[in-house]
Structure 1
Amino acid sequence: FHKLAFTGYAMVMESLYEFPVDLGSMVYVRFQNEEIRIKREFHHISDELRQWFIEERDRKMHMLENETDPGKQECYDICPYKEFCP
């Protein structure tokens, strides 16, 4: 999921600034034992990721156009919003 998110942002930046963006990064911050833990991941934004993003975007647009129910989301047990899911 995260790779798709920054791939989408990269494609928007490419469109706006007409400059290729081929590297994305995610920074995860968490607190453990009253300390801040930071984890960084860097990923190459490949043509495959771009294609996957476009396919997911088109699939979701199709669902909106046809008012298709996407079904229940598969959340992690630690999801802070899980109690709000129907």
Structure 2
Amino acid sequence: PLKAFGAGLMSSFTELQFAVESKDAHHVPFDLETVMRTGYEIDKFQRAYFVLPSFDALRDAFAGGDLAGIVKRFKGQPALDPATV
């Protein structure tokens, strides 16, 4: 079964429905670096939704990720366009 996680998805049934059913919702395999670099807008439905096989995979990605290194490497660079990730 599909499970959704995220502030926008949890607070808006309409966005959850969009994320699951719309052909305009881009489902992208989760990659910590890509997630951290992708731009988003707080007042619109997202264009990209990152997908993982489980919550354990999310925990493992953060536990093994170099968050500070990612921020340092890409500081000052433009955000990735969610339509193209």
The higher radius of gyration belongs to 1
TM-score (norm 1): 0.29
Name whichever structure is richer in strand by fraction.
1
